Chain A
Amino acid sequence: MTTARRRSYGVKGAPYAFLLPATLLFALFFALPIGYAVWLSFRKVRVSGLGLGSGARKEVWAGLGNYTDAFTDSELLDGALRVLGYGCIVVPVMLGLALLFALMLDSDKVRLAPFTRLAIFLPYAIPGVVAALLWGFLYLPDVSPFYFVLERLGMPQPDLLDGGPLYLALSNIAVWGGTGFNMIVIYTSLQAIPAEVYEAAKLDGATPTQIALRIKIPMVAPSLVLTFFFSIIATLQVFNEPTTLKPLTNSVSTTWSPLMKVYRDAFGTGDIYQAAAEAVIIAFATLVLSFGFLRAANRRNKQDASHEGAR
């Protein structure tokens, strides 16, 4: 009885014991900071008198003041629009290339596949800051091979780090860094498709292109959804690459992306309350987009399942 009871208790308590480290770390480094950020976003400092002496600077309730300031801030809005433009380039190009390369790797009789797969995956191992540094120099007129070629051809030389080209320059860094990882995710799913599916299609006279478009792509749709989802999150959170390019060009301001503005407000301006409100808004927007996307993807999965079930 005692032994049985002790064993039963041991099993019941075990999951909580195993999950204690993660729970504690989550509470300290995720839940507490988020709660603190929300708290700060409703506070502000009131300065009384001449700001001298103790009690002159007092933290007080600010209501929604920080939020209204954020929503009416043209710098934050401009940053959001820039990231939207940047994302519209990065996500389709990166995933398009990843899918293309994955399909090529999955082709019959492709040569040098191990080498090319590894080479395309390699950028994943290089830090975003180093990647931006490398490409940043390649964009400079005196270093860039692109300028060298254009000059030899007598063609005009655009400033790759200004105006429209800046978006392409920044997007290229993200595409270069992320295509390989997404390629592997999609390729892994392709490898998991049973070979009988292809054999049946070939017997029916389908060409490799038709097999790719009608069989392979639909069957890896779940992986595409996953990669699309993570790509959007990464795009919303862009910070490293524009920050790294800033020393090389005057066209990247300290508030180029929303996250750069949050950083600037918190540590440049010293207004942690405004920064907290902006951070909360960005986090909330990310969560809404993510759950909306997951719900839409899930709904489509259910429709496909019921349709297949009916047939």
Chain B
Amino acid sequence: MSSLAVQKASPATGTTGAARSRPPLRGRIALVPTITLLLGALYCLLPVAWVVIASTKSGSELFSTFTFLPGSGFTDNVHDLNAYRDGIYWQWMANSALYAVLGALLSTAVSAFSGYALAIYRFRGRETLFNVLLAGVLMPPIILAIPQYLLMAKADLTDSYWSVLLPQILSPYGVYLARIYAAAAVPSDVVEAGRMDGASEWRIFTRVALPMMVPGMVTVFLFQFVAIWNNFLLPYIMLSDDEKFPITLGLFTLLEQGANTPALYTLVITGAFLAVIPLVALFLVIQRFWSLDLLSGAVKS
């Protein structure tokens, strides 16, 4: 997939002197997009609204009251969740934070190094190496995860934090994004100027190129953070000690047990609600920093 640097034009100024019939037509046109988008927003927010309300219901209310009718058991539900297995739920949340933050930081660093090298240098094997890396995007996770598990077992690393962290450090998509961004953000004459001044390649990267790449790298970090936070298959395969579970696997385990012990369903729902809050909050805070242009492979020059 070739990258495109596109020039965004300034917004057009509306023409004045519209015909008399145009104002109502314009008004009607605006209604359709607005209503369509509101319906889309409603659809997307529906399950989130449900979990907020459902987490306030007691076990008896959950299956006997209308879906969106609030209940009276929120504090009891949170208390029960805290008491379950001595608060293992919060351990799951902490584990997810560890995997996602540390994994995304390391992944971003690897992507920055690699993307910069692929963008700035002309060397033998560059395109071949890039294409081989990109092929990693196409691999079904399970063809990697099962042999990864078997190899980790040989190294006595299964059921450890490393078994979840290490395989997620390399993100082929992150390398791809970093290359596009580095090519657009780091002018080659700036690099040449640094060399003329006698700076080492490492110093040029850390002092000159990296600051220019920061906005793109924030996007790579956030993308990888979401990917790792969402990951279920790898920890599902690697981990058996539930003290090391991420929140996705922890909630799934609760759900499985709920099939035999319905009282656990309120824990699952309350847990899901509490798990969604930090993600949504984080999302709202950082979305202004998220360079979404980069995700579509287009970088504004």
CB of A251 within 8 A of chain B? no
Contact B298 A189 (CB under 8 A): yes
Contact B113 A19 (CB under 8 A): yes
In whole angstroms, what is the CA distance A123 to B283 when docked?
10
Of A22, A32, A283, which contacts B170 at CB under 8 A?
Answer: A22
Contact A272 B146 (CB under 8 A): yes
CB of A252 within 8 A of chain B? no
CB of A158 within 8 A of chain B? no
Q: Which residues in A have their C-beta under 8 angstroms from that of B43?
A: 176
CB of A166 within 8 A of chain B? no
CB of B200 within 8 A of chain A? yes
Of B6, B146, B226, which contacts A124 at CB under 8 A?
Answer: B226
The secondary-structure label for the interface of chain B is helix
Q: Which residues in A have their C-beta under 8 angstroms from that of B237?
A: 263, 267
Q: Which residues in A have their C-beta under 8 angstroms from that of B67?
A: 138, 143-145, 148
Contact B9 A196 (CB under 8 A): yes
Of B36, B46, B123, B141, which contacts A239 at CB under 8 A?
Answer: B141
Residue of A nearest to B258 (CB): A247
Contact B229 A30 (CB under 8 A): no
Interface string of A1-35 (1 = CB under 8 A from B): 00000010011101111110111011011101110
Known contacts A37-B143, A110-B30, A110-B33; A29/B150 CB under 8 A:
no
CB of B24 within 8 A of chain A? no
Interface string of A179-198 (1 = CB under 8 A from B): 11100111011011011101
Contact B30 A282 (CB under 8 A): no
Contact A15 B117 (CB under 8 A): yes
Known contacts A22-B110, A120-B40; A127/B255 CB under 8 A:
no
Known contacts A7-B195, A124-B226, A145-B68; A18/B116 CB under 8 A:
yes
How many residue pairs link A and B with beta carbons under 8 A? The number is 305
Contact B142 A26 (CB under 8 A): no
Known contacts A16-B123, A191-B8, A226-B296; A266/B139 CB under 8 A:
no
Q: Which residues in B have their C-beta under 8 angstroms from that of A89?
A: none
8 Å CB interface, A169-185 against B: 176, 179-181, 184-185
Contact B38 A112 (CB under 8 A): yes
Contact A127 B114 (CB under 8 A): no
Contact A19 B293 (CB under 8 A): no
Of B144, B146, B198, B200, which contacts A29 at CB under 8 A?
Answer: B144
Q: Which residues in A have their C-beta under 8 angstroms from that of B6?
A: 192
In whole angstroms, what is the CA distance A214 to B54 when docked?
46
Contact B272 A133 (CB under 8 A): yes
Q: Which residues in A have their C-beta under 8 angstroms from that of B150?
A: 36, 40, 272
Contact A126 B279 (CB under 8 A): yes
Q: Which residues in A have their C-beta under 8 angstroms from that of B83?
A: none
> Nearest Cβ in chain A — how far from B104, in angstroms?
14
Contact A21 B114 (CB under 8 A): yes
Interface string of A104-137 (1 = CB under 8 A from B): 1101111111011111111111111111011111
Q: Which residues in B have their C-beta under 8 angstroms from that of A135?
A: 47
CB of A208 within 8 A of chain B? yes
Interface string of A41-82 (1 = CB under 8 A from B): 000000000000000000000000000000000000000000
In whole angstroms, what is the CA distance A148 to B166 when docked?
47
Most buried by B among A15, A195, A226: A15
Contact B201 A125 (CB under 8 A): no
CB of B276 within 8 A of chain A? yes
Contact B296 A188 (CB under 8 A): yes
Residue of B nearest to A191 (CB): B8
Contact A287 B143 (CB under 8 A): no
B interface residues, Cβ below 8 angstroms from A:
1, 4, 6-12, 26, 29-30, 32-34, 36-38, 40-41, 43-48, 50-51, 54, 62-64, 66-68, 109-111, 113-114, 116-118, 120-121, 123, 126, 129, 132-133, 135-144, 146-148, 150-151, 166-167, 169-170, 175, 195, 198, 200-201, 205, 226, 229-230, 232-233, 236-237, 247-249, 251-252, 255-256, 258-259, 265, 268-269, 272, 275-276, 279-280, 282-284, 287, 292-293, 295-298, 300
10 A–B contacts, CB within 8 A, in A order: A18-B121, A22-B110, A107-B30, A108-B26, A122-B283, A135-B47, A143-B63, A184-B295, A196-B9, A282-B142
The 4 closest A-B pairs by CB, nearest first: A119-B41, A18-B117, A33-B147, A116-B37
A interface residues, Cβ below 8 angstroms from B:
7, 10-12, 14-19, 21-23, 25-26, 28-30, 32-34, 36-37, 40, 97, 100-101, 103-105, 107-113, 115-131, 133-138, 142-145, 148, 176, 179-181, 184-186, 188-189, 191-192, 194-196, 198-199, 208, 222-223, 226, 233, 236-237, 239-240, 243-244, 247-248, 259, 262-263, 266-267, 272, 275-276, 279-280, 282-283, 286-287, 290, 294
